[in-house]
Structure 1
Amino acid sequence: MRYLFPALLLLLATRAAAQSLPIIPQNPPGLRWQEVRTPHFRVLYPAGLDTAAQRTAQRLEA
């Protein structure tokens, strides 16, 4: 019983924090997405990361 309350409190706190995650502005509306297609994958990436997207697509197909 002594450890039940702290464990329950921790569980509820993590669930409450998870509810706030969609509010974080990870993908602003003005962000332009581009796409690299391979025979088996679609790699979506923000504009300006062309080199990294190409490298990722090549590694996925390897």
Structure 2
Amino acid sequence: MGDEAGGEGGPDDALVLIAAAATELAKLAQRHKFEVLDHLLAMATLEADEQLRARNRRKLS
């Protein structure tokens, strides 16, 4: 089965989608002045980006 499950993309695709969704949700939270949600969603975006960078570093080594 490898990195893909249920016909969905692999982990890298999931991380890209999560980062994009969290970014858009953070914009919505900002617009409505939901400061804590904005902060948490920004953290989720950063974490997804970091996970993707870490996966890419492992692939290069």
Q: Could you state the TM-score of these two structures normalised by the residue count of structure 1?
A: 0.33
**Structure with the bigger percentage of strand:** 1
Which structure: greater helix fraction?
A: 2
- Structure with max Cα Rg: 1
Instruction: Identify which of structures 1 and 2 has the higher relative contact order when contacts are C-alpha pairs closer than 8 Å and 6+ apart.
Output: 2
